[in-house]
Amino acid sequence: MNNSSPNVYRNYYRLRTANQWRKVQAESGEPGAIRPYLAGNWKMNMTPRSGLALAARLFDICKGIKDVDIGLGPPFTGLSTLAEYIKPDFLKAEYDIGRNVFLLAQDVFFESKGAFTGEISAEMLAAIGVDRVIIGHSDRRANLGKYFGFGSSVARRLSNDFLTQSLSRLKQKDDADSKAIMALEHLLAKENEDVLAGLASFLGGELRDRAGESDEAINRKVLAALEQGLQVIFCCGENREARENNETFKLLERQIRMGLEGVPQRLIHDVVIAYEPLWAIGVGAKPATHEQISEVHDFIRNLIMDLHGEQFAASIRILYGGNVKPDNIADIMTIAGVDGALVGGASLKATDFGQIVRFGLID
């Protein structure tokens, strides 16, 4: 195996001295050493066949790589096919890869069964060979409303015609709420046309941007996955508004405390945290700086230390996600609090993701 570049550790211990975290290089396979985790989230891309071809090309590039964990997260339709391909014995014989390749699901539902059309339970995922599940991804926390029509639906209900019909129906009821009638009459008054239009625009935009999975729903998913033996990649991160208003740490603390509430101590070691700043994700987005990533990872790790003690905080893996590329992964991995990456677009190209997995290695 080729040596890694100076100051870029592929296996390490983490120590805390003078209230600061730092990495100390370890040899691959040393007891207690932390292995970086590079996880590819394919999102809604790849058919089962094309996903299989991508995995094969990736493994060719990463032959013999055993000192990091590799996660592949295809859509639900590709999970079974990929599970059959990444059997440890086959990977060992074909690519000289150890038991360090893991199958990820991109989401899970919190109920075990029932009338929940379109949802997938943790038990179903475990049954087809899924190892880990991504929960609370920014796509689901923040973007659902943009696609599912929550904002436009509210805006339509604040139109003059809709409110006029609603007021008429309300007045016909014997037990009608007088305050509701007064409110509707006020909004429908001629002099309040601009107020009604502004309210519709404001609420429509707010719900479109904010409607997504709640902290409570994410917490239920985390508990359901862990109870079925699945490890969890728990995602958290702030939007642009929180960042600009200096509310990053407040938001992250709420997400982590609520999202991991009630996780039994015996299962907390099965949680990996991924920090995703929403403002640094997507085409054209400006990546977070080295300093921004470092301060947030330190905050998260110190919060985990308050919740579960210093020993666990030193070993829990906290990934970074947000425009991770082959040309910035080595720099990101020099940060003391970073233990890998949750990779989006770059994981769809075998050469790019292969270079990310091989970070720091001298060819």
Those residues with Cβ within 8 angstroms of residue 309's Cβ, 6 or more apart along the chain or in another chain: none
CB 249 within 8 A of CB 242: no
| Residue 299 and residue 195 share a domain | no
pLDDT in tens, 311-362: 999 999 999 999 999 999 999 999 999 999 999 999 999 999 999 999 999 7
Question: What pLDDT, on the 0 to 100 scale, is given for residue 158?
Answer: 84
| Residue 183 and residue 88 share a domain | no
**75-79, 238-242, 321-325: least confidently modelled range:** 238-242
Q: Among all residues, which ones are annotated catalytic?
A: 137, 276
For range 124-136, the mean pLDDT: 97
Residue 332: in which H helix or E strand, if any? Answer: helix 329-333
Distance between alpha carbon 265 and the CA centroid of its chain, in Å?
A: 22
**166-170, 203-207, 232-236, 327-331: least confidently modelled range:** 203-207
| Residue 121 and residue 259 share a domain | yes
> Of 183, 209, 235, which marks where a domain is finished?
209
5 domain-assigned: no
7 domain-assigned: no
CA distances from 237 to 108, 254, 337 (A): 19, 11, 15
DSSP letters for 88-153 = HHHHHHHH---S-EEEEES--BSSSSSS-TT--BHHHHHHTT--EEEES-HHHHHSHHHHH-HHHH
pTM higher than 0.85 for the full model? yes
pLDDT of 257 > 80? The answer is yes
CA distances from 219 to 133, 153, 319 (A): 13, 27, 19
- Name the pLDDT band for 5 (thresholds 50, 70, 90): low
Residue with tokens 């990444």: 86
pLDDT of 2 > 60? The answer is no
| Residue 232 and residue 85 share a domain | yes
Q: Give the start-end residues of each E strand in the chain.
A: 12-17, 20-25, 37-41, 69-73, 101-105, 132-135, 231-236, 271-275, 318-320, 340-343
**33-47, 91-105, 116-130, 205-219: least confidently modelled range:** 205-219
Pick 88 or 146 by higher pLDDT.
Answer: 88
What's the total number of domains in the chain? 2
2 domain-assigned: no
Q: Is the dihedral of CA 309, 310, 316, 318 positive or negative?
A: positive
For range 19-30, the mean pLDDT: 92
Mean pLDDT, the chain, whole residue set: 92
Question: What pLDDT, on the 0 to 100 scale, is given for residue 1?
Answer: 45
3 domain-assigned: no
Q: Give the C-alpha separation, 333 to 47, whole Å.
A: 31
pLDDT in tens, 167-184: 999 999 988 899 999 999
| Residue 111 and residue 193 share a domain | no
pLDDT of 6 > 90? The answer is no
For range 54-63, the mean pLDDT: 97
Write out the residue range of the structural domain in which residue 93 sits: 12-143+213-357
> Of 192, 209, 226, which marks where a domain is finished?
209
pLDDT in tens, 297-307: 999 999 999 99
